[in-house]
Amino acid sequence: MAYDRSQAESEKPGSSAKVRYVVATDGDVGQRLDNFLLRELKGVPRTHVYRLLRKGEVRVNSKRARPDQRVAAGDRVRLPPVRRPDPVEGVRPRGELQHAVTDAIVYEDADLIAINKPAGLAVHGGSGLSHGVIEALRAARPELGELDLVHRLDRETSGCLLIAKRRAALRDLHAQLREGRVEKRYLGLVCGHWQLGHKRIEVALATDERVSGERHVAVRSHGQMAVSTFRPVQFFGRLATLMEVDLGTGKTHQIRVHAAHAGFPVAGDDKYGDRERNAELREFGLHRMFLHSASIGVTRPGTAEPLFISAPLSADLRDVLDALVRAPKARSPAARRRARSAAGR
């Protein structure tokens, strides 16, 4: 990334703050604009970067731009003057966090790192969090240079998370994502006895809504189309169903909103879920959202060779499934009748 400093200009007469104009290079092609800005405006809180975009203070070729807009070579990006936070002590991620992230690595090669992200750990800092996976990994592996997230997972979602070690690999993997050539498969426990069989859900989602000031995704005709395919794996009576979910797109909260829209919300989801069912499932040891990125399939950057990476369920989720299997009330009515009959013989 390079820019012509002679193109900087004062935002206000006598002000030391400057507007900058950055010209995107071939190395930036295909990158989301929000990621482009976060790289260029290092140290600026993520929430502030998105606020600049919403207010139209960031312009691409003199036009307003969306966070998910893809950067093209030669794009001229207007960066408004921003105040970077003063350096503070303790900004380096804690040693425990660094160890937790490096211990979660399930695959690594010359191009990428795959992590089985623990639930409750954000993929990046922001929104009141100083650090996430990417900051911890950069601190733990400084010899690798500038690592970059290939995609994101919700904070409460566990499982496969890819980090690129080279800009060329990042561009290649982003192209695969845009072209629908990445296979993402999740395991999720949904509330209720799934009755829809093998179901493809294709409805539009609006990702910029606010409920009590908090970001909320909703099914809206004016939103962007999102595709999820659900397949039941194991039934636990009328209480819950273990599902395998393939993503055709990668919208924010996509699986959670599609599952709730179908009438079977993800178990443990406190935003889009069923409060009463969640309380019932806590009796089986479920104390967080049961959604796990189980595997991801890509083509190795720069080759035609397929690469498939998987991440096992954590012990706490396996224990929930074991508890559901053992619990009589989680069984189907027919199974309960057979159990009573066997007990009476």
Q: How far apart are alpha carbons 339 and 343 in whole angstroms? A: 6
- pTM, two decimal places: 0.74
In the chain, the domains with their CATH numbers are 2-79 (3.10.290.10), 96-330 (3.30.2350.10)
Q: How far apart are alpha carbons 59 and 255 in whole angstroms? A: 32
**Catalytic residue numbers, as ranges:** 154
pLDDT reported for residue 342: 42
CB-based burial label for 275 (10 Å; 0-12, 13-18, 19+): exposed
Q: How far apart are alpha carbons 268 and 157 in whole angstroms? A: 11
Q: How far apart are alpha carbons 251 and 26 in whole angstroms? A: 26
pLDDT reported for residue 1: 39
CB-based burial label for 199 (10 Å; 0-12, 13-18, 19+): middle
Residue the block writes with tokens 């083509």:
299
Give 340's Cβ-side CA count (13 Å radius): 8
Are the C-beta atoms of 198 and 323 separated by less than 8 Å?
A: no
From first to last of its 345 residues, the chain has per-residue pLDDT tens of 343 433 444 334 333 358 888 888 777 777 888 888 887 887 677 778 888 888 889 999 999 988 888 888 889 999 988 875 544 434 556 778 899 999 999 999 999 999 999 999 999 876 555 678 998 999 899 898 779 999 999 999 999 999 999 989 999 999 999 899 999 999 999 999 999 999 999 999 998 776 766 778 999 999 999 999 999 999 999 999 999 999 999 898 999 999 999 999 999 999 999 999 999 999 999 999 999 999 999 999 989 999 999 999 999 999 999 999 988 655 444 544 444 454 444
Closest CA to 245 of 262, 222, 225, 221: 262
Q: How far apart are alpha carbons 316 and 18 in whole angstroms? A: 51
Q: Tell me how long the chain is.
A: 345
| DSSP characters over 42-64 | TTS-HHHHHHHHHTT-SEETTEE
Tokens of 179: 């072209």
Strand-pair category, 18-23 with 9-10: antiparallel
CB-based contacts of 310, cutoff 8 Å, min separation 6: 106, 160, 294, 295
Q: How far apart are alpha carbons 110 and 141 in whole angstroms? A: 14
Are the C-beta atoms of 195 and 214 separated by less than 8 Å?
A: no
Residue 135 corresponds to which amino acid?
E
Residue 271 corresponds to which amino acid?
K
